[in-house]
């Protein structure tokens, strides 16, 4: 089962020697970022900086920096455990006999405990300390100035809570947050994000929007904030599904929102219509700086926290970084859902080097001419997969996670005059390569074996791949020790 809060996970990691306490004073201006980036790229441990210059609380970093730690945090041994669980719920076959009835009830039972559970404020650890008025000072929180050309100090793992002003449907999202001053935060809400839509609706109605930002949340909640869920799916329902039990929530002190009761720190405030400030530049997960743009500026009225709080953040930049395991979890978790939209897919891979959303490698069981092109366009129409810039389609016998195998197919199985599809469409808000913001060119590569019906009419047809003789391969395997190799 997943960990209920961040600090219990940190204790477990420390017992296993997978957390390092840094007692020396460290500077949040560039120094912390340099340390964390080196440790992450070396596959090193989670870090707890106990003495951050200018801050009043420790800083936990690189907590989810390896697949092992993220799996442990979510109570899993493999990401496929969740994808198989989701796949099972998506296939509710009619019960047959006693065993079938038991299986059906088992599936229903797995959903009973997942809606969030409200607890009283006096029982919420995150509200042990409440600061309002002149006591609110964001400088007590260790914000990071990570890269030399950043426009200021940022909180990179604050989970932002909003709700639609008309429907009341809440949203949980993960956005970078620039600390403008002691009571003001810049909200980097990209054009495709639900919270941006909530703010736009509120502004149109002439209303201010309540916002709550939680730090150091239960691991399943932190992951759920990154998941590309449709707007009508509650992230807390999904977090409970992953965690295996209901997430405990508490009413905020000054805004009409709920936050995780077991978070470490929560900041509460209101966004006034039209209140904007320049935000950025920022060295983002693309590995490049994103430019300065105007974004909503949130005024903080209240800070709640545990008696001995700690803050959690991450460092992003040139991959690999800590968001790599989070991206791999999303890739695996959402395969069954993507197959519902595009059932032709056998498997897919979103390489971290492509920022996960820029490239998709997809295998299909090819059944008709131009099947690959059909799948490309279906993916470009599938929710947030619409932002994918490059799609490589391979046959089902290709391991999409083996980039050497994929590149061999893509480099050798393609006639780019016929097998390259170029289109235009939406791209990520942060994409710097498009010649204008928000849309640009995309490409699809058909690296499958070509059929005569697709115009491949050379004598002998598509050639067979070189493979070992099965009998010889088996004999050599049995005699391997004899060779002394």
DSSP at 60: E
Q: Catalytic: which of 284, 419, 428, 446?
A: 284
- Residue 77 has a pLDDT of 95
- Residue 191 has a pLDDT of 81
CA triple 322-326-327, angle to 5 deg: 105
- Residue 107 has a pLDDT of 54
Burial profile 373-390: b = 16 or more Cβ within 10 angstroms, e = fewer: bbbbebbbebebbebbbe
Burial profile 428-453: b = 16 or more Cβ within 10 angstroms, e = fewer: bbbbeebeeeeebebbbbbbbbbbee
404-412 CB contacts, 8 Å cutoff, 24+ apart: 406/349, 406/361, 406/447, 409/447, 410/445, 410/447
Measured between alpha carbons, how far is 127 from 260 in angstroms, rounded to an integer?
A: 10
CA triple 429-431-433, angle to 5 deg: 145
**Preceding peptide of 320 cis, ω within 30°:** yes
Digitized pLDDT (tens) for each residue of the chain, 485 residues in all: 789 999 999 999 999 999 999 999 999 999 999 999 999 999 999 999 999 999 999 999 999 999 999 999 999 999 999 888 877 765 554 445 545 445 544 554 555 557 899 999 999 999 999 999 999 999 999 999 999 999 999 999 999 999 999 999 999 999 999 999 999 999 998 887 888 999 999 999 999 999 999 999 999 999 999 988 876 678 998 899 888 889 999 999 999 999 999 999 999 999 999 999 999 999 998 899 999 999 999 999 999 999 999 999 999 999 999 999 999 999 999 898 888 889 899 999 999 988 888 999 999 999 999 999 999 999 999 888 999 999 999 999 999 999 999 999 999 999 999 999 999 999 988 888 899 989 999 999 999 999 999 999 999 999 999 999 999 999 999 999 999 99
- Whether residue 41 contacts residue 320, with contact meaning beta carbons closer than 8 Å, is answered with yes
Measured between alpha carbons, how far is 206 from 310 in angstroms, rounded to an integer?
A: 37
pTM: 0.89
User: For the chain, what's the residue count?
Assistant: 485
- How far the first Cα of the chain sits from its last, in Å, is 45
Q: Hey, what are 98's tokens?
A: 């006693």
Q: How far is CA 220 from CA 64, 309, 329, 352, 483, in A?
A: 12, 19, 11, 21, 51
Q: Please, is 77 exposed, middle or buried when counting C-beta atoms within 10 Å of its C-beta (0-12, 13-18, 19+)?
A: exposed
**Preceding peptide of 136 cis, ω within 30°:** no
- Whether residue 360 contacts residue 387, with contact meaning beta carbons closer than 8 Å, is answered with no
Q: Which domains does the chain have, with CATH numbers?
A: 6-92+116-312 (2.30.110.10), 342-454 (3.40.1670.10)
Q: Whose CA is closest to 146, among 324, 325, 289?
A: 289
Q: Is 284 a catalytic residue?
A: yes
């Amino acid at each position: 089962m997943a960990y209920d809060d961040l600090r219990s996970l940190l204790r477990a990691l420390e017992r296993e020697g997978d957390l390092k306490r840094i007692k020396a004073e460290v500077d949040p201006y560039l120094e912390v970022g340099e340390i964390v980036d080196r440790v992450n790229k070396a596959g090193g441990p989670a870090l707890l900086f106990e003495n951050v210059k200018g801050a009043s609380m420790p800083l936990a970093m690189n907590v989810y920096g390896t697949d092992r730690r993220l799996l442990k945090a979510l109570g899993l041994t493999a990401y496929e455990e969740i994808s198989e669980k989701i796949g099972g719920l998506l296939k509710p076959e009619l019960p047959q006999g006693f065993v079938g009835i038991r299986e059906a009830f088992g599936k229903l039972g797995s959903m009973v405990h997942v809606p969030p559970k409200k607890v009283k404020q006096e029982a919420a650890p995150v509200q042990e300390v409440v600061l309002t008025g002149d006591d609110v000072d964001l400088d007590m929180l260790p914000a990071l100035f990570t890269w030399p050309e950043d426009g200021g100090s940022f909180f990179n793992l604050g989970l932002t809570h909003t709700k639609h002003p008309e429907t009341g449907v809440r949203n949980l999202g993960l956005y970078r947050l620039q600390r403008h001053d002691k009571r003001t935060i810049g909200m980097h809400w990209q054009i495709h994000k639900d919270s941006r839509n909530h703010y736009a609706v509120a502004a149109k109605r002439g209303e201010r929007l309540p916002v709550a930002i939680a730090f150091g949340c239960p691991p399943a909640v932190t992951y759920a904030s990154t998941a590309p869920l449709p707007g009508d799916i509650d992230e807390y329902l999904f977090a409970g599904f992953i965690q295996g039990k209901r997430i405990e929530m508490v009413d905020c002190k000054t805004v009409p929102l709920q936050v995780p009761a077991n978070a470490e720190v929560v900041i509460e405030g209101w966004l006034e219509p039209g209140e904007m400030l320049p935000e950025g530049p920022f060295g983002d997960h693309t590995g490049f700086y994103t430019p300065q743009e105007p974004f909503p500026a949130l005024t903080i009225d209240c800070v709640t926290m545990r008696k001995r709080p700690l803050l959690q953040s991450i460092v992003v930049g040139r991959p690999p970084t800590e968001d790599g395991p989070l991206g791999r979890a999303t890739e695996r978790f959402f395969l069954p859902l993507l197959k519902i939209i595009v059932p032709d897919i056998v498997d897919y891979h979103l390489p971290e080097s492509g920022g996960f959303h820029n490239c998709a490698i997809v295998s299909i069981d090819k059944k008709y001419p131009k099947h690959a092109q059909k799948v490309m366009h279906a993916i470009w129409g599938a929710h947030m997969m619409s932002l994918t810039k490059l799609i490589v389609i391979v046959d089902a016998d290709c391991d999409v996670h083996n980039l050497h195998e994929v590149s061999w197919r893509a480099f050798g199985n393609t006639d780019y005059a016929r097998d390259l599809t170029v289109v235009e469409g939406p791209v990520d808000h942060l994409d710097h390569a498009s010649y204008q913001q928000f849309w640009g060119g995309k490409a699809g590569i058909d690296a499958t074996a070509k059929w005569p019906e697709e115009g491949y009419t050379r004598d002998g047809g598509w050639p067979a791949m070189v493979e070992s003789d099965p009998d010889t391969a088996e004999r050599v395997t049995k005699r391997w020790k004899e060779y002394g190799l």
